[in-house]
Structure 1
Amino acid sequence: MDLIVQKMEGKIVRALKQLVLFGWEQSLSCLFPVIIFASLAFTQIVTLPFLPRYDWLLLICLLMQWGMVRSGLETRDELKVITLFHLIGLALELFKVHMGSWSYPEEGYSKIFGVPLYSGFMYASVASYLCQAWRRLNVELVKWPPFYIVVPLAAAIYLNFFTHHYWIDIRWWLSGLVMIVFWKSWVIYEVGGTRYRMPIALSFVLIGFFIWIAENIATFFGAWEYPNQTDAWSLVHLGKVSSWLLLVIVSFLIVATLKRVKGNNSTSMGTSESL
């Protein structure tokens, strides 16, 4: 009996150690988003001189990005991916602000058509997290769908963010299609030398939910403003989880596709640089 109890205690202790280690790796992977949230909170509380708040946020994001590449926390290939997400996110921001989905009410020299340039870094931070976590957890994909299915699916999800303003919103159809396409797909990751696996669809949902939580924090600190938050801050509607879920899927599909392309090129060229 004592031996059984000892074994159970040992398993519990190991599980807790693995959970703490997993949380630590996730925290390191979230460095870029954490800096953005900290900057939003700090500039909300403290009024910095010389420049409007949005411009200070842009400078902080640029310095953070430079520091991560300079220190080796991010590779140059990862910087290319993050820059791509910055442009994708900025294009979406320009359109959504124009359509009145949300707004940036404060002044700033770095605003283009009502959108501050720092906003693109909020999308880039998602890519930064994915790249960091991918490398730190030694992620592998099992039964990944073919390229000719993944790319059109990601494109359709992204385009729906624009077209639903003029046509029907097909996000739920697209979500169902994602579940069908990735039904047999798994993500394998490593924590403390032990390999674990998770359905990719579940990872999409979890990341989307935590980004929704981050969105509530960001809007609380005035990163942007939804129409229902004009007079006073309120919780972002839970339905936004579906939007972030789809955006996470687009992000994941782009990063995964680029990593597979990079991996194939590295193998054929005999190089080992990782994305």
Structure 2
Amino acid sequence: MALLALDNWLIREKSHEGLSGFRRFLVEFGCFGLKEARACLFAGLFFAAVFLVPRAGLAGIPRYDLLLVIALLIQGWMVLAKLETLDELKAICLFHVVGFALEVFKTSGAIQSWSYPDFAYTKLFGVPLFSGFMYAAVGSYIIQAWRLFDLRIRHHPPYWMAVVIAVLIYANFFTHHYWVDYRWYIAACLAGLYARSSVIFRPYDRDRSMPLLLGFLLIGFFIWVAENISTFFSLWHYPNQLGAWSIVHVGKWSSWSLLVVMTFTIVANLKHVKARIHVPE
């Protein structure tokens, strides 16, 4: 109930024309930070569990299994508390499935892009089931931010083009191991497709805007930072981190940014989002 009350306050129409200068900046920046923190609720709680659950597990329960239980409890609580709708939950489940399929492929014996070194009862094809929730956390953030910031998109590209780009992004994560890596060609097409697109958001009482492409890059950057923290805590390892931890290659930033585009496309096709995605000129 407290979070629902906070949500209602955050999205309530406000008008404070008397605010100006540095005072307005502080108020808007503070409200922006509060909304961002609230949008990161699932991701924040989940990664807090990552940091707090010992690698050896608790009470004889392996860490990966505990993280799965915690993720399910968080997700269930958010739906029961009406912080997420059932339609949004369906989209998040899709993120989980898409992410888990990618994890299975990337950790397979022929590829081994990274690995999950610890034992777990809830491993399937060598991948712990909780891993899909790391992708679902990105989807949850975008869904929550869309509502809290009253997001609207100006000059959104045709939906079929956006879907084609999203499918190509996902497919390239698989095919580049056997064929040419078309990442930068896809990124170039993506840049052209979204070049005129801007996201309109409301941190406090006035609409602000920024290029949508910049938004993709920023979210990708913060996911890359979270990935560095997660590998530092040995949640998973890249091959170059087996002997001692080292920073995740900055090239992963581009991969995460592309994955954000795919996630954004799924969210944008939710009925209540799609109905108001465009704004008048």
Q: TM-score normalised to the size of structure 1? A: 0.90
Asked if the contact 2:64–2:120 (Cα under 8 Å) also holds between the matched residues in 1, the reply is yes
1:186 pairs, out of 193, 198, 206, with 198
Asked if the contact 1:40–1:222 (Cα under 8 Å) also holds between the matched residues in 2, the reply is no
- The amino acid of 1:168's aligned partner reads V
Listed as ranges, the matches of 1:85-164 within 5 Å are 85-98=95-108, 99-164=111-176
Partner in structure 1 of residue 65 of structure 2:
55
* Residues 262 and 245 of structure 1: CA distance in aligned 2, closer, same or farther (over 3 Å): closer
Q: Secondary structure at the match of 1:194?
A: coil
2:66 is the alignment partner of 1:71? no
How far 1:257 sits from its partner (Å)?
2.4
Q: For each residue in 1:7-46, what CA deviation from the matched residue of structure 2 results, as whole angstroms up to 9, or x when unmatched? A: xx94111111101110110001001111121111111367
Q: Give distance in 1, aligned partners of 2:22 and 2:87.
A: 39
* Residues 195 and 262 of structure 1: CA distance in aligned 2, closer, same or farther (over 3 Å): closer
1:35 pairs, out of 45, 48, 52, with 45
Alignment RMSD, CA only? Answer: 1.5
- The amino acid of 2:47's aligned partner reads F
Q: Give distance in 2, aligned partners of 1:36 and 1:221.
A: 14
How far 1:73 sits from its partner (Å)?
1.2
How far 1:262 sits from its partner (Å)?
5.4
Work out the number of aligned pairs and report it. Answer: 256
Q: Secondary structure at the match of 2:89?
A: helix
Q: For each residue in 1:146-192, what CA deviation from the matched residue of structure 2 results, as whole angstroms up to 9, or x when unmatched? A: 12211111000110000000001010111111110011111101111
Consecutive aligned runs of 4 or more in structure 1 exceeding 6 Å deviation: none
1:256 pairs, out of 268, 271, 276, with 268
Q: Give distance in 1, aligned partners of 2:169 and 2:57.
A: 39
Q: TM-score normalised to the size of structure 2? A: 0.88
2:194 is the alignment partner of 1:197? no
Q: For each residue in 1:175-210, what CA deviation from the matched residue of structure 2 results, as whole angstroms up to 9, or x when unmatched? A: 111110011111101111210111111101111111
How far 1:253 sits from its partner (Å)?
1.4
* Residues 35 and 261 of structure 1: CA distance in aligned 2, closer, same or farther (over 3 Å): closer
Asked if the contact 1:142–1:185 (Cα under 8 Å) also holds between the matched residues in 2, the reply is yes
Q: Give distance in 1, aligned partners of 2:20 and 2:244.
A: 50
Q: Give distance in 2, aligned partners of 1:172 and 1:262.
A: 28
- The amino acid of 1:72's aligned partner reads K
Partner in structure 1 of residue 186 of structure 2:
174
Q: Give distance in 1, aligned partners of 2:69 and 2:169.
A: 31
Q: Give distance in 1, aligned partners of 2:170 and 2:55.
A: 35
* Residues 165 and 46 of structure 1: CA distance in aligned 2, closer, same or farther (over 3 Å): closer
- The amino acid of 1:155's aligned partner reads V
Which is helix-richer, 1 or 2? 1
Gaps of 5+ in 2: 1-18, 277-281
How far 1:81 sits from its partner (Å)?
0.7
Asked if the contact 1:160–1:169 (Cα under 8 Å) also holds between the matched residues in 2, the reply is yes
Asked if the contact 2:115–2:237 (Cα under 8 Å) also holds between the matched residues in 1, the reply is yes
Asked if the contact 1:44–1:221 (Cα under 8 Å) also holds between the matched residues in 2, the reply is no
- The amino acid of 1:187's aligned partner reads V
Q: Give distance in 2, aligned partners of 1:259 and 1:224.
A: 36
Q: Give distance in 2, aligned partners of 1:124 and 1:261.
A: 18
Q: For each residue in 1:63-109, what CA deviation from the matched residue of structure 2 results, as whole angstroms up to 9, or x when unmatched? A: 00001111111111110110000000000000000110000010000
How far 1:260 sits from its partner (Å)?
6.4
Asked if the contact 2:194–2:213 (Cα under 8 Å) also holds between the matched residues in 1, the reply is yes
Q: Give distance in 1, aligned partners of 2:55 and 2:126.
A: 23
